Amino acid sequence: MKKLILGIALFGGLSAANAQIDLGVKGGLNFPTLSGDSRQLYENQTKFRTDFYVGGYANYKITDQISFQPELLYSKQGAGLKTNDNSKAKLITHNINIPLMGRYEIMDGLNVEFGPQLGFLVSAKEKYELGKENTKIKATDNFKTFDFGLNFGAAYKITDELEINARFTKGLSNINDYYPQTVNDNYKITNTYFSVGVAYKLAEM
């Protein structure tokens, strides 16, 4: 995986010298959950929930069809938690993500994209709501700080400045830090989420 990241970064860096660079902002909705052995950490099964992401990007145009796009995103993730009572429960995580995307324009305005993602956990909490009672529990120590994953997606340019996009992110790293791996190697938990959003080009260099 390190070779993959270095290869993409080196390719993008070498190509950027003579490339057109677009700078912009992006944001949208996340639909995150936890995959793997999340039942070992939570008594109840996890499910998808809804939150948001926001950030910026730099798109390096390498050829007419190929571009390299690193991004810096603030992303709220986590999971919904199914409970045995009528309470609303969810895990909320605050993350800084760095996608390194390779993009290919398959037809006018339509791009497919693929690339690795580096993720960094800022904080996490569990929130339970039952009637008028709200309970929040700090959960940052339950998860590892670093997360590595892969992104797959597509984007369509409505205008030269405005783009709509959709992406699937699959975490590959075990983010479980609640049950030490020396105790049970089977307790593997990964991030999984879908996202949809818009991007807007602010400047061209």
2-204: CATH, from 2.30.110.10, 2.40.160.20, 3.60.21.10, 3.40.50.720: 2.40.160.20
pLDDT cut 90: percent of the chain above it: 64
Question: In the predicted model, is pLDDT for residue 84 greater than 90?
Answer: no
Question: In the predicted model, is pLDDT for residue 2 greater than 60?
Answer: no
Domain assignments of the chain as residue spans, ordered by start: 2-204
Q: What is the pTM of this model?
A: 0.86
Residue 140, CB-side half-sphere exposure with 13 Å CA sphere? 8
Q: Would you state the pLDDT for residue 182?
A: 47
Buried b (16+ CB within 10 A) or exposed e, 62-101: beeebbbbbbebebbbbbbbeeeeeeebbbbbbbebebbb
Question: In the predicted model, is pLDDT for residue 51 greater than 90?
Answer: yes
List of residues 6+ apart from 58 with CB closer than 8 A: 21, 22, 23, 69, 70, 71
pLDDT cut 70: percent of the chain above it: 82
